[in-house]
Amino acid sequence: MGTVYVPQDRYWGAQTQRSYENFRIGTEKMPPELIRAFAVLKKGAAMANVRLGNLDREKGEIICAVCDEILEGKLDEHFPLAVWQTGSGTQTNMNVNEVIANRGNERAGTPLLHPNDDVNRSQSSNDTFPTAMSICALSILEDHVLPALSGLENTLCGLARRYREVIKVGRTHLQDATPLTLGQEISGWAAMLEHDARYLKLSLEGLGELALGGTAVGTGLNASEGFAETAAEMVSRLTGKTFRTAPNKFHALTSKDQFVFAHGAMKALAADLMKIANDIRLLSSGPRCGIGELLIPENEPGSSIMPGKVNPTQCEAVTMVALQVMGNDTIIGMAASQGNYELNVFMPVLIHNFLQSARLLADVMDSFERNCVRGIRPNTGKIREYLSQSLMLVTALNPIVGYENAAKIAKMAYNENLTLREAAIRLQLLDGETFDRVVRPEKMVGQFPEEGAGDGHDDPPGKLSEEEKGRIGE
């Protein structure tokens, strides 16, 4: 293919340089999580090859030492390739092979390693790239998304228990409905996250299947017997996570359904986060001319022209991330549908979007929990005011006067600006004593749910003031 010039201060070789020059597209580089996953893979493969007698120990040790440097971030500048390259990720695999070989030879003081013959032994780009995808996808879910999700869920559980006695107006269709407690409302949010965590954990099993050992088309050509199983064992040992060789390598190379499934769980999480954030910002709207039932932390000025304005900025960040994840899900689904013949050739864009979603979700949940959710407080005066004005308390009268008569009470109260009690007496449907006995909001809210009130903190940061306690007691 002719001469290609590689910068003298870089460890990559000719194949990386050609890709670097031929794909000057966009600013998105191969994700660092993927490069580190490749380092784990190459180290695990070298350990397997040494154990199986396919690679001498000196070469294996040098490969492992360079992989450790990559994992420590010491060689980051040597991985320059764009996401928008060959759909198999071949040149990224070769980028890793070349860097390990050239840096290894520098360490050895002699040309000991060859990028293809030694670093890539028993492997192909077609099975290493999807294997690296699996390693980094499972790792980011276990190490970042699930812990952030758990932290947010715990804080919501704590808030749910803390405010389980604060009775407020319920709302459906954006209209007043029968009452519930603020704790019950928040427990619904917490239960959403509890379910999302369950869905994400289910997806880990599929991501744990490694394509390594399938080589070019799934047949395992040039991979020795036992390599796939041994390499998966080594990757598990190096990461402390559960990986196993895929039972059908033809499926592992051509299908990316496990990523669609896992990202679908992230999309479900994004949808729930969107709902929670929107509820919080609507309930905290105001401070005087909105609903104003919730008080949220005031983190920064909200306007460059309106003094004193404070906005629900953390909620807005959550909703923007949710939209990005939903868009990424479309790309991932379409990319996974392109498994033409024996290989999917949309893998770089798939893993780029998958990792972006995971990274954004983990970061935004941490930020949302720290800068907003843990500081949520009820505006008890406003909550009590709305509850006293709610016409839907009339629902408790259905068993006493019937639906039609209860509707008459509510309509008269609304049209003539009366209380429900005044309207009921005026219509001579029941006396005041009976009304007071039946229409009691605290008897209308049911039991506090078990789900969504589980493993949270007993008392999130900050305690109820004496004034709040008094209002709640009233």
- Supply the residues annotated as catalytic: 173, 303
- The DSSP string of 97-143 is HHHHHHHHHHHHTS----IIIIITTT--HHHHHHHHHHHHHHHHIII
CA distance 305 to 455: 43
Burial class of residue 57 in the structure, from the number of CB atoms within 10 Å of its CB (0-12 exposed, 13-18 middle, 19+ buried): exposed
Where do the DSSP E strands lie in 319-389? 377-378
- The DSSP string of 7-63 is -TT----HHHHHHHHH---SSPBPPHHHHHHHHHHHHHHHHHHHHTTSS-HHHHHHH
Pairing type for strands 294-295 and 377-378 reads antiparallel
* Closest listed residue to residue 353, CA positions, set 273, 266, 246: 266
CA distance 380 to 44: 58
Pairing type for strands 167-172 and 175-181 reads antiparallel
Where do the DSSP E strands lie in 340-435? 377-378
Pairing type for strands 175-181 and 209-210 reads unpaired
* Closest listed residue to residue 425, CA positions, set 444, 408, 403, 404: 408
SS3 424: helix
Q: Are 223 and 215 in contact (CB under 8 A)?
A: yes
